[in-house]
């Protein structure tokens, strides 16, 4: 259940989004505890592991299970031997609030992790298509329609429009859930663009670049650090500028 009725002092009933602690554990060790919507948690765990560099591909998670307790939900994941060995070297337990994007880093330098280069898009996304994608995204947000308290991440493909969406009370969680769903669904991340409801901060850019998604579209202006990281990696950023959308970075600017 991702939403619950709440009795208001006025006598009205309001639908509120559920928010629960979700522990993401790997080989019996908790890597992060995130406040999240209790849905699509297998996608969440896989997407988190991929976007944070804990695994190189989905095959390195050999088993997943969910354990529901009074305190929250534990999403347990077991790693193949090489990934398990790498994880053991960098493991750390973290606790973060909703949408924590850089939870658990131990040194300032870790906030600017080295990113892989992103190949130029194999498709064209026109300004009209980017605008339409953001507008169409509203039709794929049932939790937001119900509660007005959820973020969404969607994947857009040329000729198809939005093909997949995940929602969560946390914007980073929504992105990780989408990443996991893409990989579990056998959809090539390089075949389309990411469309988000939230501002484009550097931690989101890092996750997107790690998956080599070539284009990201957002409804508000990005930060300086976000566009700098995106430019260096070759990620195309389309986001709000004034009353419309603008191209903040282009593939040919890549320096990585």
61 and 50 Cβ atoms separated by less than 8 Å? no
* Terminal alpha carbon distance of the chain: 43
CA separation for the pair 104, 155 (Å, rounded) = 28
* CA–CA–CA angle 207, 118, 234 (5° rounding): 100
49 and 57 Cβ atoms separated by less than 8 Å? no
2 and 128 Cβ atoms separated by less than 8 Å? no
202 and 110 Cβ atoms separated by less than 8 Å? no
Please name which of 23, 24, 47, 21 lies closest in space to residue 35, comparing C-alpha atoms: 21
Catalytic residue among 35, 45, 49, 100: 100
Helices 41-51 & 171-184 angle (0-180, nearest 10): 90
Structure tokens at 129: 């298509």
Please name which of 77, 65, 62 lies closest in space to residue 28, comparing C-alpha atoms: 77
Beta-bridge mates of residue 16:
4
Catalytic: 100? yes
The catalytic residue positions are 100
């Amino acid at each position: 259940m991702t939403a619950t009725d709440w009795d208001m002092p006025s006598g009205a009933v309001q639908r509120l989004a559920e928010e629960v602690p979700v522990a993401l554990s790997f080989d019996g060790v908790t890597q992060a505890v995130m406040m999240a919507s209790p849905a699509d948690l297998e996608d969440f765990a896989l997407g988190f592991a991929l976007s944070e560099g804990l695994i190189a591909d989905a095959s390195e998670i050999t088993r997943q299970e969910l354990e529901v307790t009074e305190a929250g939900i534990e999403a347990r994941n077991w790693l193949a031997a090489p990934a398990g060995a790498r994880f053991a070297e960098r493991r750390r337990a973290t606790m973060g609030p909703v949408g924590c994007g850089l939870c658990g880093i131990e040194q300032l330098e870790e906030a600017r992790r080295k990113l892989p280069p992103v190949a130029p898009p194999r498709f064209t996304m026109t300004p009209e298509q980017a605008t339409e994608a953001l507008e169409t995204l509203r039709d794929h947000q049932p939790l937001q329609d119900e509660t007005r308290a959820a973020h969404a991440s969607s994947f857009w493909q040329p000729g198809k429009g939005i093909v997949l969406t995940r929602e969560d009370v946390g914007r980073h969680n929504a992105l990780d859930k989408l990443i996991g769903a893409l990989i579990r669904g056998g959809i090539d991340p390089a075949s389309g663009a990411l469309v988000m409801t939230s501002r484009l901060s550097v931690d989101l850019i890092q996750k997107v670049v790690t998956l080599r998604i070539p284009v990201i579209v957002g409804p508000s202006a990005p930060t300086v650090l976000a566009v700098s990281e995106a430019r260096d990696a070759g990620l195309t950023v389309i986001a709000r500028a004034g009353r419309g959308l603008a191209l903040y970075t282009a593939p040919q600017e890549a320096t990585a």
